[in-house]
Amino acid sequence: MEKSDIRYQAYVSILEEELKPAMGCTEPIAIAYCAAVAREVLGGLPEKVKVGASGSMIKNVKSVIVPNTDHLKGIPAAAAELEVIASVTKEQITAMKEFLQTTPVEVEHIDNGITFDIIVTLTRGTDTSMVRIANYHTNVVHIEKNGEVIRDIPVNGEEEEGLTDRSLLDMEHIWDFIHTVDVNDIREVLERQKTYNMAIAREGMRGKYGSNIGALLLDMNGNDVRTRARAMAAA
């Protein structure tokens, strides 16, 4: 595939979009991101939080541990982050727990005909802010402050507005791209993916998570190269 082919740059962009890192399960991260944007728009810590979420979102976040919350689960914990999840200090975790105890966080089911939908509304005195994310995890489609619309991108069903056109993907051209791509064009994203996946696998082998399939494979089948590879993939 030539670099001049419209598909070439599209495939590079799709790799970058699909391999974007997230701290833990992506659904609670999306809620935290939505709440963080809403807090920034509000200009201060809210006195009341309302999270509207589609059924799929509620199901997926309900039992998931939210990163950097001292093992708290669910939508209120995700919404209470209200900041960048990767850099939360112990003091901020304590403040977040106090916030959950003193601030009402309402969760409601919304059905706007799409699978991925989050609406966070914050209130502080007479000020309000509202932010909506739809269809994918960072797609902020609506922002309001005190009823004034700051951003409004129409949501037409489950289209992924702002992402590279996935209709350009087909097996013939994917195969061509794989065998002709300039590795330097995708090196950064693949190196990052390799580094993160290996770190996750090593932590999975070191810690006690879930069914510990990786450690179980080593116990059952020995420590040869093939078994170690399977164990790391399963960890």
Share the mean pLDDT of the chain.
Answer: 85
C-alpha–C-alpha distance, residues 143 and 127, integer Å: 14
pLDDT at 71 over 70: no
pLDDT at 232 over 80: yes
- pLDDT score of 180: 96
Task: Tell me the Ramachandran region of residue 222: left when phi exceeds 0, alpha when psi lies from -120 to 50, beta otherwise.
Answer: left
State pLDDT tens for residues 75-98. 777 777 655 555 567 777 788 888
State pLDDT tens for residues 147-159. 999 999 888 876 6
Rounded to 10 deg, the angle between the 183-206 and 6-18 helix axes is: 20
Beta-carbon neighbour count of residue 64 at 10 Å?
18
The pairing of strands 105-109 and 148-152 is: unpaired
pTM: predicted TM-score of the whole model, two decimal places: 0.62
Categorize the per-residue pLDDT at 142 as very low, low, confident or very high, splitting at 50, 70 and 90.
very high
Task: Please indicate whether residue 149 or residue 226 has the higher confidence score (pLDDT).
Answer: 149
State pLDDT tens for residues 114-124. 888 999 999 99
φ, ψ of residue 226 to 5 degrees: the values are -60, -45
